């Protein structure tokens, strides 16, 4: 059983803090403490938990074998590339669930990654928004320029929002929620090797994840969910939203109706 403090933290509003900046890679327990601080708790609350409690919490969250021991399985998943949005926030910047108050949303692609055709990126983003519109009444319309609900861009290292990227690996992207101070902003790390396949980092999978945040979805602890915080390639030929993804997006926007 997890201690009361962890149970309370687990049910606080998720992800309504801003994305978190990267940090230097540390070894062993120092790495775990840093990871826990960046994505789950502040340093003020961290001393309330023992090392074993922190490790058990992480193992439970990532659906690992809960041992309380810092084993290879736990370290391996913590070292995976992941989303920069924290998994549990201490507080919500606004009450209720974050969502758009309309069903027709515009999006724009401000700039593009290295070594990928503009037309390819446009097709990928179209496919990613279509994943979410296929199960909800949401309608997405691409527009040009900055005047859009969802603004998608690629940046390397520091890029003006206070949350710099860290080069290849590490944090792949971050997004801001509909009721945040920067609603609909979606950033990707331009230094990643973005691809359309299993090589490098598949842009479609990460874009679908970050767009989920821009629509109001928090991270999921379900490894089968596209909103799981760490990246793992999935075969695009068989990719589909999990039952968990569909249930949670429909709780925000309702089911798609067919006439």
What are the structural domain ranges in the chain? 4-83, 104-253
Mean pLDDT of 4-15: 43
User: Higher-confidence residue: 58 or 95?
Assistant: 58
Band of the pLDDT at 22, cuts 50, 70, 90?
low
CATH number of 104-253: 3.40.390.10
At residue 45, does pLDDT exceed 70? no
Q: Is the model's pLDDT at 13 over the cut of 50?
A: no
Instruction: Return the H-helix or E-strand segment holding 35.
Output: helix 28-39
CA 207, CA 87: separation in Å to the nearest integer?
18
- pLDDT for the residue numbered 15: 40
Q: Which residue has the higher pLDDT, 240 or 29?
A: 240
State the chain's mean pLDDT as an integer: 85
Per-residue model confidence (pLDDT) at position 164: 84
Beta-bridge partner residues of 202 = 195
| pLDDT on residue 188 | 98
Of the candidates 45, 46, 147, which has an alpha carbon nearest to the alpha carbon of residue 106? Answer: 147
- The answer to whether residue 181 scores a pLDDT higher than 80 is yes
Least confident of 156-160, 200-204, 208-212: 156-160
Cα–Cα distance, 241 to 239 (Å, whole number): 7
Give the list of residues 6+ apart from residue 61 with CB closer than 8 angstroms, or none: 10, 40, 87, 221
Q: Report which of residues 211 and 2 the model is more confident about.
A: 211
In the set 51, 144, 210, 232, the catalytic residue is: 210
Q: Hey, what are 33's tokens? A: 């403490």
Average pLDDT over residues 5-20: 45
pLDDT band at 245 (very low <50, low <70, confident <90, very high): very high
CA quadruple 189, 173, 232, 249: dihedral positive or negative? negative
* Higher-confidence position of 38 and 108: 108
Instruction: Determine whether 53 is an active site residue.
Output: no
Determine the Cα–Cα distance for residues 202 and 197; give it in Å rounded to an integer: 6
Overall average pLDDT of the 194-212 stretch: 97
Per DSSP bridges, beta strands 201-202 and 194-195 are parallel
| Alpha carbon of residue 230 to chain centroid | 8
Q: Is the pLDDT of residue 258 over 90?
A: no
- Residue 5 vs residue 158, higher pLDDT: 158
What would be the CATH architecture of the domain defined by 4-83?
A: Orthogonal Bundle (1.10)
203-215 vs 118-133: helix crossing angle, rounded to 10:
50
pLDDT category at 69 given cuts 50, 70, 90 is confident
Q: pLDDT: is 9 or 182 the higher one?
A: 182
pLDDT score, position 91: 33
Where does the pLDDT of residue 257 fall: very low under 50, low under 70, confident under 90, or very high at 90 and above? Answer: confident
28 falls in which pLDDT band (50, 70, 90)? confident
Measure the CA–CA gap between 257 and 166, rounded to whole angstroms. Answer: 42
């Amino acid at each position: 059983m997890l201690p009361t403090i962890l149970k309370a933290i687990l049910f606080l509003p998720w992800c309504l803090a801003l994305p978190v900046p990267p940090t230097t890679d540390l070894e062993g327990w120092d790495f775990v403490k840093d990871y826990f601080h960046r994505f789950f708790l502040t340093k003020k609350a961290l001393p309330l938990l023992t090392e074993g409690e922190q490790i058990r919490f992480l193992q439970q969250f990532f659906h690992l074998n809960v041992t309380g021991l810092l084993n290879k399985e736990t370290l391996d998943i913590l070292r995976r590339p992941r989303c920069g949005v924290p998994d549990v926030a201490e507080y919500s910047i606004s009450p209720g669930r974050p969502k758009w108050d309309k069903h027709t949303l515009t999006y724009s692609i401000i700039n593009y990654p290295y070594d990928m055709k503009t037309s390819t990126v446009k097709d990928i983003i179209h496919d990613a928004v279509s994943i979410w519109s296929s199960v909800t009444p949401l309608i997405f319309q691409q527009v040009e320029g900055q005047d859009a609900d969802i603004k998608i861009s690629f940046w390397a290292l520091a890029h003006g929002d206070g949350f710099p990227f860290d080069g290849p690996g590490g944090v792949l992207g971050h997004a801001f929620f509909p009721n945040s101070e920067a609603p609909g902003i979606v950033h990707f790390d331009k230094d990643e090797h973005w691809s359309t396949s299993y090589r490098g980092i598949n842009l479609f999978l990460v874009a679908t994840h970050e767009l989920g945040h821009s629509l109001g979805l928090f991270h999921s602890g379900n490894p089968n969910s596209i909103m799981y915080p760490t990246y793992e390639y999935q075969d695009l030929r068989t990719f589909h939203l999990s039952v968990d993804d569909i249930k949670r997006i429909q709780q925000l926007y309702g089911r798609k109706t067919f006439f």
